[in-house]
Structure 1
Amino acid sequence: MDWLQVVVLSVVQGLTEFLPISSSAHLILVPVLTGWPDQGLAFDVALHVGTLAAVLLYFRGELAGMARSWTRSLTTRQLDGDAWLAWAVILGTIPVGLAGLAFKDIVEAYLRSPVTLSIGMIAFGLLLGWADWRRRGTRTEHELTWRDVLVVGCAQALALFPGTSRAGITITAGLLTGLSREGASRFSFLLSIPVIVLAGGLETLELLTNGHPVDWSALIAGAVLAGISAYLCIHWFLAFINRIGMQPFVAYRLLLGAVLLWIYL
């Protein structure tokens, strides 16, 4: 990897991890469109570390309160808003964890193609646009019900399909259950924490067993750049989402999906 590739992939990962436009699609497409070699598993792990650090730093206050309340709930059996939100994040992660273990190899072997990506970008982009257009919800992430958690958690498992976008499908499901734009987005960001930990953990285990050499300077730079761009992305997304809505992201998904279909069909 040269330094231009390091910078571009790091910023792309940081910006797209938490936007409803599919980070995995962009990390697959950038090497395809530029002719760069695959960035390798070690670099993917570094990017995950950077984005994880960003979301932990941004939500550090909420996460500390959730951890205290969740720990207290184990002994008191009483749930306040923070404890329930912590349980919602845990329970909402189970479906994607099970789906990942069952279908990860199938997805990587048969579905990681530009045409498949374009189909996912367009189809789930239209679904996001419809959910945002018809939304009537005003509830926050602290007002989730069991049904909401089940719907959003199961929807998150669909993110295994390339082009879906984990953020996009969880925000879509949140809007459909009656959450506000900001509430759906914040719950989506919190749900990303265990998913990134699980994905990064599996990649780390694979990395440790393959014995490939590691370029530590590229990995450190990638993690830092991905973390900075991800933190800024979360901040500005939450600051403006109630004002701009989801339609700009829908338009981007449809345009990119159409261009990819035109190029590769």
Structure 2
Amino acid sequence: MSIFEAIILGIIQGATEFLPISSSGHLVLLPEIFQMTNPDLTLIGLVHAGTLLAVLIYFRQDLWDIVTAVLRDLSQRQPLASPEARLGWLIVVGSIPVGIVGLLFADFFEEAFGSPRVAAGFLLVTAVLLVLGERMLSGKKEMAAMSWTDAIIVGLFQMMALFPGVSRSGSTIVGGLARGLDRPTAARFSFLLGIPAILGAGLQAILAIFTESAQFSASVYIFSFLAAAVSGYVCIHWLLTWVKNHTLYGFAIYVALLSIGYLIYSAIIG
């Protein structure tokens, strides 16, 4: 793999992890379409670590407030006394569904990632979800008004992202909209809820590094990691700004065209 391919792969992972267009779908389809070198487990682990670094840096103040509030309130035996601590527990509750299902059916979902056509088909699911989310947009609820049921429902929507082609950010934003959250709140909770999921995926891939020998040069790994971190940070900021005044329809059109385009392409080449 060239340095250029490594940077492109990092940008793809960083951008599509947070934009509602499915990082898994792009990582499966784009190398296939453009005949790029397939990444090894080391590279996959590093680009996931890059996106994790991006979200941790962007939400560093939020995360610090949440962690300190949880520890303080636990020490005072009042675990839900502050809004920040309550948000922390909402994130924990919302992460439970994807954690359980991901562990129980890991082999099934791993097999699904081996099929570009499956990924292309599920991109259409992402498009439908985004359209439905916009159609349901009527909520005014902000973060402080979120309930435990809201967190669980958004967590159930996140489970769909275990399939390649279903956007994690897209599905969780739509889950928030379905529960009456306003668009900026749904997007912000989506990113915070994604931290445990991204951390889990990244750790799983990074642990695989120790069971697989490095295939590429150190410079390839370094550039892919940096590209994922930078593009991820930029896309978080951009999307949180975008959703304040824009719809998700553009993303729905994009993933639908990519899905249909790939399915036609694969049918032609056989």
Q: What's the secondary structure of 2:105's corresponding residue?
A: helix
Q: What's the secondary structure of 1:62's corresponding residue?
A: helix
* Matched residues, number: 265
Matched residue, 2:111: 109
Cα distance in 2 for partners of 1:195, 1:143 equals: 23
Matched residue, 1:26: 26
Contact map agreement 1:104 1:160 (CA 8 A) in 2: no
Matched residue, 1:41: 41
Cα distance in 2 for partners of 1:78, 1:45 equals: 34
Q: Provide, for residues 131-157 of structure 1, a one-character-per-residue CA deviation record: whole Å limited to 9, x for no partner.
A: 212211112233210110110111111
Moved over 6 A (4+): none
Q: What's the secondary structure of 1:21's corresponding residue?
A: coil
Matched residue, 1:238: 240
Q: Provide, for residues 68-96 of structure 1, a one-character-per-residue CA deviation record: whole Å limited to 9, x for no partner.
A: 11111212324221111111111211111
Contact map agreement 1:7 1:222 (CA 8 A) in 2: yes
Cα distance in 2 for partners of 1:15, 1:8 equals: 10
Query: Unaligned stretches of 5+ in structure 1?
Result: none
Query: Unaligned stretches of 5+ in structure 2?
Result: none
Compute the displacement of 1:223 (Å): 1.1
Matched residue, 2:187: 185
Compute the displacement of 1:210 (Å): 2.8
Change in CA separation of 1:49 and 1:130 when aligned onto 2, cut-off 3 Å = same
Contact map agreement 2:42 2:208 (CA 8 A) in 1: no
Q: Provide, for residues 139-187 of structure 1, a one-character-per-residue CA deviation record: whole Å limited to 9, x for no partner.
A: 2233210110110111111111111111111111011001111111101
Structure 1 length normalisation: TM-score? Answer: 0.95
Cα distance in 2 for partners of 1:56, 1:203 equals: 18
Q: Provide, for residues 201-228 of structure 1, a one-character-per-residue CA deviation record: whole Å limited to 9, x for no partner.
A: 1112222123445632211111111111
Q: What's the secondary structure of 1:243's corresponding residue?
A: coil
**One-letter amino acid of the counterpart of residue 2, structure 1:** S
| Identity value in percent | 37
Structure 2 length normalisation: TM-score? Answer: 0.93
Contact map agreement 2:29 2:120 (CA 8 A) in 1: no
Q: Which among 168, 172, 177 is matched to residue 166 of structure 1?
A: 168
Q: Provide, for residues 23-71 of structure 1, a one-character-per-residue CA deviation record: whole Å limited to 9, x for no partner.
A: 0111111210111221111111111111111111111111111111111
Cα distance in 2 for partners of 1:215, 1:95 equals: 38
Q: What's the secondary structure of 1:17's corresponding residue?
A: helix
Compute the displacement of 1:127 (Å): 2.0
**One-letter amino acid of the counterpart of residue 155, structure 1:** F
**One-letter amino acid of the counterpart of residue 51, structure 2:** T
Matched residue, 1:196: 198
Matched residue, 2:152: 150
Compute the displacement of 1:111 (Å): 5.1
Cα distance in 1 for partners of 2:138, 2:58 equals: 27
**One-letter amino acid of the counterpart of residue 56, structure 2:** L
Cα distance in 2 for partners of 1:139, 1:44 equals: 37
Moved more, 67-76 or 160-169: 67-76
Q: What's the secondary structure of 1:31's corresponding residue?
A: helix
Compute the displacement of 1:246 (Å): 0.8
Cα distance in 1 for partners of 2:157, 2:26 equals: 21
